[in-house]
Amino acid sequence: MSRHLLKYATLTGILISSMVWNSSCKTTKKVPKNDEPVVVVPEVKKEDLGKLYEHGFVYNTFSGKAQMHYVGNDKDQNFAANIKMEKGKKVWLSVIALGIQEIARAQITPDRMQAIERLGRSAYDMSFEEGLKKLNAPIEFPMLENLLIGNPVMQDLKIKEIKQNGSEVKIITEKDGFVQTLTYDKNTQTLTEQLIASEKKQFRCTVKYSDYVAVNGQAFAKSRVINIEDLAKNKTTLLEMDFSKYDLDGALDIQFSIPSNYKMKDL
């Protein structure tokens, strides 16, 4: 596993959040089955469009498995990730290569970041705050959770503007110089795209959502495409996620430890 990939794995277990805030074969998109349940929602009134922003995916625990396709820094890699989340407390991820071998495991809490690399028998262990500084990734723990579960990354902000064009609704918020533009399907009340951009930092991150299914009565996007543009460096990073398994509010068996014979490393 390259140092570049493991660097991202330390924060999210598999690249995700530090890519958003820093700058084999391609996975095939899954076609939703006709018998998969969908969420039926009542029609939303024009005066209530802002409430779409308030409707997030609600959970206490989540576990899932996703196929990943990553392109960036002259890398084109495919791998699978097992993801377990205990809301507000813990994010655990295991990276699997060739469908059989775990090559890395990570655990992130609001206080700590830890990761191990199986092939190199190395490990990382640092405070959450220290990890953010080293990765230059100014995010909060809830933002990482939101990105993984499929909620707006920045929540509970004052809405600046709402635009509607047919069934498409755009809700715009802002925080610390980052403008978040959320695109919803008015008919299904699902988030189809979120764009986070900073003109000053010459940064754009677009996340697209599709293949929604019902999980415990809530709409869950099985497929996401994350595209990050560092306009200053003319660099683009792509991460495709396709969930094949997803379970809500079940019991979690989360195991993480650093073997005594692993060498501690710094980012």
What digits encode the pLDDT tens for the residues 215-233? Answer: 999 999 999 998 888 888 8
Percent of the chain's residues with pLDDT above 70: 81
Mean pLDDT, range 32-49, rounded to an integer = 60
Predicted confidence at residue 235, as pLDDT, reads: 85
Residue 232, Cα to own-chain centre: how many angstroms?
23
Mean pLDDT confidence for 161-169 = 94
> Mapping DSSP to helix (H, G, I), strand (E, B) and coil, where does residue 209 land?
strand
Band (pLDDT 50/70/90 cuts) for residue 24 is very low
Q: Which residue has the higher pLDDT, 12 or 236?
A: 236
* pTM (two decimals): 0.81
Q: From CA 46, how far away is CA 196, in angstroms rounded?
A: 25
Beta-bridge mates of residue 184: 169, 191
Q: Got the DSSP string for 41-86?
A: -PPPPGGGGGGGGG-PPP-SEEEEEEEEEEEETTEEEEEEEEEEEE
Average pLDDT over residues 242-262: 94
Query: Which among 104, 143, 114 is positioned nearest to 1, based on CA atoms?
Result: 104
For residue 100, the model assigns a pLDDT of: 80
What pLDDT is attached to residue 39? Answer: 63
Q: What is the overall mean pLDDT for the chain?
A: 82
pLDDT tens per residue, range 75-119: 888 889 999 999 999 999 998 887 788 888 999 999 999 989 888
Q: How sure is the predictor about 202, in pLDDT bands with cuts at 50, 70 and 90?
A: confident
Stronger pLDDT, 81 or 30, i.e. the higher one: 81
Residue 19's pLDDT is 35
Arithmetic mean of pLDDT, 62-84: 89
* pLDDT for 71: 86
